[in-house]
Amino acid sequence: MTITCFIRYEIDPFGKAAFEEYARNWGQAIPRCGADLIGYFAPHEGSVTTAYAALPNGS
């Protein structure tokens, strides 16, 4: 069975660059720890304050 974890972030719309740096850092750290990462998704349409991360866990 595969489970995918979605993490929702509320971000400062003027701090998008800081979120992108955060996502890049964790995007390298998570795989180094043996986990999978689908990606981080910053807002580009609709809400300017909601971003997501998606992490799958399969067996």
Where do the structural domains in the chain lie, given as residue ranges? 3-57
Report yes or no: 47 and 8 within 8 Å, Cβ to Cβ. no
pLDDT band at 58 (very low <50, low <70, confident <90, very high): low
Mean pLDDT computed over every residue of the chain:
85
What does the alpha-carbon distance between residue 19 and residue 1 come to, in Å, rounded to a whole number? 31
pLDDT score recorded for residue 41: 85
CATH number of 3-57: 3.30.70.100
Nearest to 38 by CA among 19, 18, 58: 58
Tell me the pLDDT tens digit for each residue of 26-41: 989 988 988 888 888 8
pLDDT score recorded for residue 21: 92
pLDDT band at 55 (very low <50, low <70, confident <90, very high): confident
Amino acid at 46: G
